[in-house]
Chain A
Amino acid sequence: MTHQMHAYHMVNPSPWPLTGALSALLMTSGLIMWFHFNSLMLLILGLATNTLTMYQWWRDIIREGTFQGHHTPIVQKGLRYGMILFIISEVFFFAGFFWAFYHSSLAPTPELGGCWPPTGIYPLNPMEVPLLNTSVLLASGVSITWAHHSLLEGNRKQMLQALSITIMLGIYFTLLQMSEYFETSFTISDSVYGSTFFMATGFHGLHVIIGSTFLTICFFRQLKFHFTSNHHFGFEAAAWYWHFVDVVWLFLYVSIYWWGS
């Protein structure tokens, strides 16, 4: 039986990068078909193949790491670099929306009434639900840290308890934001205020949903004993992502909800 003479992971050929790329093509062309030709078929196909790709790709990573032992310390180091670089790219993604917001709000045009918020826009009170949302995400940052320390100390039950509190807080945030979206007197079509508000908070909300999903997967993996007290990178990656989502909200809150009102 041949053995590799190094600690790296030579991944077996996989179809998921191809299906992922194809799903991206289907989603983009699907959006065009929906916007311009009133047809949802291509977009639905794209979303389905995208979901299937994600499920199978990450399932395979769990098989390779947790069950087959390919995630040696140096492989894990590479995964850490990868997650950090991905989160940095997301920071730049949000930087664009903050740029747009500050560009429009620091020098409001005459078409808006020369003021910010623009004439006719009644912003949300930052001291009501937005403040609650802030406390919810900050609390979830505390509970996820509790979950991590419980995991490090080998306390299985507490880790599950802390992680479930974190996930429930994430869901609560999402529900609060959805209710706020229905209650605002302004919409996305209400000048550049509406555009910047809903693009920035909308993408943030999507990231909260993604983060909550990632945490839920960690919850089920912990139930199935995938994590050990000193090897649980999947959980750490989810925690990093969750803290990132929290920090983006803090910037949103201070910039758009508070200063921008």
Chain B
Amino acid sequence: MASPAAFRVSRLLAQSHPRLRRPMSSGAHGEEGSARMWKALTYFVALPGVGVSMLNVFLKSHHGEHERPEFIAFPHLRIRTKPFPWRDGNHTLFHNPHVNPLPTGYEDE
């Protein structure tokens, strides 16, 4: 008497519900359509965010008017305990003569 019931149960278990079967092999974990969401996020949020930041920099920039700070020979600045291994050893790698004074003062004064 248990056997036909058991047979029916095992047949139920053997069938796999078609809607539950997801055609993805191990390793893949994205749901379909999520690339579409990230594409939308990229074009409508991320890149416009960059654009707004660029605009902000442009609007805030005041090129030309450079009231550079007066030169005071503070001992904790322009430290030269050892010469730099390039050029004359007295200029930093990204030296900008307009805004970076040497230990003796601005070069273009």
| A residues in contact (CB < 8 Å) with B | 34-35, 38, 73, 111-113, 118-122, 125, 127-129, 131-132, 134-136, 138-139, 142-143, 145-146, 148-150, 152-153, 155, 158, 162, 165, 169, 181-191, 229-231
Contact = CB atoms under 8 A, between A and B. Distances in A.
B5 interface: no
A183 B63 CA distance: 11
Interface string B44-68: 0111011011101100110000001
Contacts of B34: 149, 153
Contact of A187 (B24, B32, B75, B100): B100
Give the one of A111, A112, A152, A181 with max B CB within 10 A: A152
Given A119-B74, A190-B78, A143 B30 contact: no
Nearest to B37: A149
25 contacts: A111-B75, A113-B76, A118-B76, A120-B76, A121-B77, A127-B60, A128-B60, A138-B46, A139-B42, A143-B38, A146-B41, A152-B30, A153-B35, A165-B42, A183-B96, A185-B100, A186-B77, A187-B92, A188-B92, A188-B93, A189-B77, A189-B92, A191-B76, A229-B28, A231-B27
B68 A230 contact: no
Given A142-B38, A152-B30, A190 B77 contact: yes
A74 to B, nearest CB: 12
Q: Is the interface of B mostly helix, strand, loop or mixed?
A: loop
Given A35-B85, A142-B42, A190-B77, 18 more contacts: A34-B85, A118-B76, A128-B57, A131-B53, A138-B46, A139-B50, A142-B46, A146-B38, A148-B30, A149-B34, A149-B37, A150-B39, A158-B39, A162-B42, A183-B99, A184-B99, A230-B24, A231-B27
B85 A139 contact: no
A138 B49 contact: yes
Contacts of B95: 187
Contact of B94 (A150, A182, A231): A182
Nearest to A142: B46
Contacts of B1: none
B16 interface: no
A188 B77 CA distance: 9
Contacts of A34: 85
A142 B74 contact: no
A155 B46 contact: no
B50 A169 contact: yes
A215 to B, nearest CB: 15
Give the one of B74, B77, B78 with max A CB within 10 A: B77
Given A136-B50, A155-B35, A181 B42 contact: no
Contacts of A190: 76-79
